[in-house]
Amino acid sequence: MKKVIRYNKLIRDRIPEIIKEAGWSPTIRILKKSKFLSAIKKKVLEEAGELIQAKDKKGIVDEIIDIQELLDVLSSELKLGKPELKKLQNMKRKKRGGFKKRLFLVKQKKI
């Protein structure tokens, strides 16, 4: 009996070739844009979970790279260039702040 592993997830472009080199036969399909955007968002969540589980610098860096790749593709699909994205990021930072102060909200109460 032949072994089959099901994934049903977005993969990087060279993964089918890597699977073939390992002696397996991949079944793939190309997603329509609407499904692609949804798959990217799900993949970001998957990679964020792996980032949380990462224990060392190399693992953390690998997950940052994966997430950045996904964010770059998502920005491109939304026709959002890096300069525009940076401008919007700076505007939000000016309005809401960044994360440099390492603030951690424990609770709040009505006064």
Residue 86 in domain: yes
Residue 99 in domain: no
Average pLDDT score, the chain: 96
Residue position matching structure tokens 């009996």: 1
Over range 55-69, report the average pLDDT: 98
Does residue 9 carry a pLDDT above 90? yes
Please report, for residues 6, 23, 51, 74, 97, the alpha-carbon distance to residue 3 in angstroms, rounded to integers and kept in the order given. Answer: 10, 12, 30, 34, 51
Give the model's pLDDT for residue 71.
Answer: 97
Residue 46 in domain: yes
Does residue 35 carry a pLDDT above 80? yes
Residue 8 in domain: no
CB-based contact 66:59 (threshold 8 Å): no
Does residue 103 carry a pLDDT above 90? yes
Residue 74 in domain: yes
Count of structural domains within the chain: 1
Please report, for residues 4, 15, 73, 81, 101, the alpha-carbon distance to residue 64 in angstroms, rounded to integers and kept in the order given. Answer: 30, 19, 14, 20, 21
Give the model's pLDDT for residue 1.
Answer: 72
CB-based contact 8:42 (threshold 8 Å): no
Residue 102 in domain: no
Residue 101 in domain: no
> Residue 81 belongs to what domain range?
32-90
Over range 29-56, report the average pLDDT: 97
Residue 26 in domain: no
